[in-house]
């Protein structure tokens, strides 16, 4: 092997190693949390639009998922996880961690308030989705980079 080829292979090996991020890394954990929240939102939207029948258990489970995620989501952004795993997290999170935490808590509050007076039908679910959707957007606008 020529020296140049060896150097290139070594560089590739280094790149390969840093591209591998373990499943328990915070970047992966927080994306998985958001995937769950996205799934929960999808389930609620399906009911709100009448594509799925109203089901109190699904409404409860979806809101509980949002509430649960909001409790630990903001912990998944330790220093050093600004990049990696194709993260869409904006650097602004680390500049405004208190505000980011407040926005996380806001989603939890909205989900818990809705759980406490559970929507009893399709119209109720639709009405509840407005404020919850605003909380998703309020955070994504500032803190999620759309790739």
Give the per-residue contact string, 23-62, with ligand HEC (x = CB under 6 A; - = no): ----x--xx--xx-xx--x---------------------
How many residues contact ligand HEC, by CB under 6 A? 23
Q: Counting contacts by CB under 6 A, is residue 143 touching ligand HEC?
A: yes
* HSE of 135, CA atoms in CB hemisphere, 13 A: 22
125 contacts ligand HEC (rule: CB under 6 A): no
Residue 88 contacts residue 147 (beta carbons within 8 Å)? yes
**How far is residue 140 from each of residues 49, 121, 126, 135, measured CA to CA in Å?**
23, 28, 21, 9
- Position among 65, 104, 114, 128 found at the interface with ligand HEC (CB under 6 A): 104
Q: Is 129 in the site for ligand HEC (CB under 6 A)?
A: no
Per the structure block, which two tokens stand in for 68? 């649960």
d(CA 63, CA 124): 13
Chain residues binding ligand HEC by CB under 6 A are 27, 30-31, 34-35, 37-38, 41, 66, 87-89, 100, 103-104, 107, 132, 135-136, 139-140, 143-144
């Amino acid at each position: 092997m020529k020296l140049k080829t060896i150097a290139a292979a070594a560089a590739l090996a280094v790149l390969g190693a840093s591209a591998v991020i373990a499943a328990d890394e915070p970047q992966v954990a927080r994306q998985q949390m958001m995937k769950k929240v996205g799934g929960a939102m999808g389930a609620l939207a399906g009911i709100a639009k009448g594509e799925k029948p109203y089901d109190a258990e699904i409404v409860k489970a979806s809101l509980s998922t949002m509430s649960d995620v909001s409790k630990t989501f903001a912990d998944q952004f330790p220093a050093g996880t600004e990049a990696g795993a194709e993260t869409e997290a904006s650097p602004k999170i680390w500049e405004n961690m208190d505000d980011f935490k407040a926005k996380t808590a806001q989603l939890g509050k909205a989900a818990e308030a809705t759980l406490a007076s559970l929507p009893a039908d399709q119209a109720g679910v639709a009405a509840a989705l407005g404020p919850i959707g605003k909380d998703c957007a309020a955070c994504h606008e500032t803190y999620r980079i759309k790739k």
